[in-house]
Amino acid sequence: MSVDSLDGRAPDPPSTVEAGPELVQLLTPEGERVEHPDYSVELSAEELRGLYRDLVLSRRIDTEATALQRQGELGIWAQSLGQEAAQIGSGRAMQPQDFAFPTYREHGVAWCKGVDPLRLLGLFRGVDNGDWDPAEFNFGLYTIVIGAQTLHATGYAMGVQRDGLVGTGDPDRDTAVVAYFGDGATSQGDVNEAFVWASVFNAPVVFFCQNNQWAISEPLERQTRIPLYQRARGFGFPGVRVDGNDVLACLAVTRPPSTGPGRAPARR
């Protein structure tokens, strides 16, 4: 029993948090389609071709930039190899008004939000700090400080909430915020602080953890003793583990009371 009150009484029990499915898998590693009762996907042939085109082009961008780094043209380049599906899938699901806060490797999301790939290179060449206008693309500048963007995203989401752009019922006005980070960032204080603020204020933010099982050079077992998506329940909002084959994306979503169960992301 935990005790956190001055008079020694046990605290009131927390409100029940919906656990959600343990694992969402729509495709096996062998490429076989898996039907899921809660996450049905109906895509036209044109939409499928568009998604595949984005996957191929985002990998091509990553390959070319990696070659430039190896040739000394870029000081560094953070690869997104193996994370294309998580990025293109989430990027294409966003509405134009939804705002994304990236790390330094969300090249696929940048592509979906309309940022010219060439504009990504200046930062890694050391000639600018990121030269695109976040307000123009609803896509934040790359964040080098690990996990700092989760606080930025939470603050932005709280602002969206106060502007009355949540739960209006109008899909062209309702706004969501997505914060991307890796499994290693979950060990940072900024990320845990963002979880607390987002949960307490019911901010309309999705925490999108792309878990490649390594935090730069530390394996996952040195980052956590439980699956990362389960941490969400400790902060008071639901989390779900999504199998991306190459990368496991852990989604933790906070929802304002006025939005009810939330709206499904619209496909563009």
pLDDT, residue 89, reads 92
* Strands of the sheet with 177-182, listed across from one edge: 99-101, 177-182, 205-211, 248-253, 239-243
pTM above 0.75, yes or no: yes
Q: Whats the size of the chain, residue-wise?
A: 268
Residue 211 within any structural domain of the chain:
yes
pLDDT at 158 over 90: yes
**pLDDT tens, 76-121?**
999 999 999 999 999 999 999 999 999 999 999 999 999 999 999 9
* Residue-wise pLDDT tens digits, 159-208: 999 999 999 999 999 999 999 999 999 999 999 999 999 999 999 999 99
CB neighbours of residue 35 within 10 Å: 8
For residues 232 and 198, what is the distance between their CA atoms, to the nearest angstrom?
A: 11
Domain presence at residue 137 = yes
- Taking a C-beta distance cutoff of 8 angstroms, is the pair 211, 248 a contact? yes
Decide if 15 is inside a domain.
no
Least confident of 1-5, 109-113, 205-209, 214-218: 1-5
| Measured distance between the N- and C-terminal CA atoms of the chain, rounded to whole angstroms | 49
Q: 13 lies in a domain?
A: no
CATH code for the domain of 78: 3.40.50.970
- Count CB atoms within 10 A of the CB of residue 27: 14
The reply to whether 4 falls in a domain is: no
Q: Is 149 among the domain residues?
A: yes
Our count of domains for the chain comes to 1
CA-to-CA separations, 236 to 42, 80, 210, 230, in angstroms, rounded:
31, 30, 21, 11
Residue 211: give the domain boundaries. 45-258
Q: Could you identify the residue written with the tokens 């019922």?
A: 169
Alpha helices in 71-166, H assignment, sequence order: 84-93, 107-112, 118-125, 134-137, 148-162
Q: Give the Cα separation of 235 and 192 in Å (integer).
A: 9
Residue 176 included in any domain: yes
Q: Is residue 35 part of a domain?
A: no
Sign of CA dihedral 254, 255, 260, 265: negative
